[in-house]
Each structure stands twice: as C-alpha cells, then as structure tokens.
Homo-oligomer: A and B are copies of this chain.
Amino acid sequence: MVEDVVRTLGFLCMGSRLRRIGERLQADTQQVIDEAGLSIQAGQYPFLAAIDRAGPLTIGELAQAVGITQPGATRTTGQLLELGYVDMQPAPDDQRRRLVSLTDKGQELVDHSKKVIWPRIAAAVADLCGDFDGPILEQLAAIEDGLAVAPLARRSPVKEEG
C-alpha cells in the first residue's frame, strides 16, 4: 500500500485535497440523484437553485451566484436549455443581457428536488461532516473570506526586504 502523499503533506497540498474531496462528494451526490431517477447533473443544480431563489438571472449573475467564470455559466446554461429546464430571452432594456428563467418543467424539478432529494443529500453530507467538533461550514466560509482579503501569495511571503 502506497502512502497518500496529498494527505501526508497536509497544508502544502490543501488545494489538491479539497478538490479531490469535492470531486468525490459530487460523484457521490450524482449517485443519489441517479438512484432517484432524475436526469440532471449534480453540477447543474446550483444554477436552478439560484434562479429559484432570486428569480430570472443573467448569465453573468448566474456565474457569480454559483462561483464560476462566465464561459462556464454559458455552457451549463446551454445544457439546461437543451434539457428544457430553463428558458432564455434578451433583457428588455439591454439586448446584451440574456435573462435565464425556469420553465415549468424546471420549476417542477426544483420543487420535487426540494422535497425529496435535497434534504436527503444535505442530511447525508451533514452525517458525514457534522459530527466533528469544528463547524466545517463556518471554517470554509472563513477560508473563502480569507482568500478574498489576501491571496496566498500575500501571506507569509519570503522576507525580501531587509
């Protein structure tokens, strides 16, 4: 059995490790979704949830809401259009913006998911994470806030001045 270096190296490989765990969690989440017979990707859910919460959003707002870049939001929105879960139309006051809204089918999926799938996923993840003393969600929030305040490159830099 080979040593898990990412784990061994601790803070040094924190980025790789978070990504790795995130990918694993999302794959597991996908399994729950698939077992429920829903045809949607785990990564597409936050888009629907964002529109459900805030009403129709533009591509740029969706990107912000789910925390990815605009081209990623464009692509996923295109997929959701194909699937018939969202509709898109130019904003009346600004032809550059595209307002993305839920279709009836999309709203139904969201409503059903809120009742059946999302609580189950949240409970399973809480079961996985929540039993430890430190409240991990708050820690993640603090990390995100910390990164916004100062990126790694500005933290504990090598002393360059005398």
Query: Counting CB contacts under 8 A, is A83 at the interface?
Result: no
A1-39 to B contact mask, C-beta < 8 Å, 1/0: 111111111111111111111111110110110010000
Most chain B CB atoms below 10 A, which of A18, A142, A143: A18
A interface, over-half SS? helix
> Interface size of A by Cβ–Cβ distance < 8 Å?
81
Q: How far is A49 from B20 in the complex, measured between Cα atoms in Å?
A: 17
How many copies of the polypeptide does the oligomer hold? Answer: 2
Q: List 5 A-B contacts (CB under 8 A).
A: A6-B67, A11-B137, A14-B129, A15-B23, A134-B136
Query: Counting CB contacts under 8 A, is A87 at the interface?
Result: no
A54-86 to B contact mask, C-beta < 8 Å, 1/0: 100100010011111000000000000000000
Choose among B5, B13, B17, B122 the residue that contacts A11 (Cβ–Cβ < 8 A).
Answer: B122
Report B-chain residues with C-beta under 8 Å of the C-beta of A31: 151-153
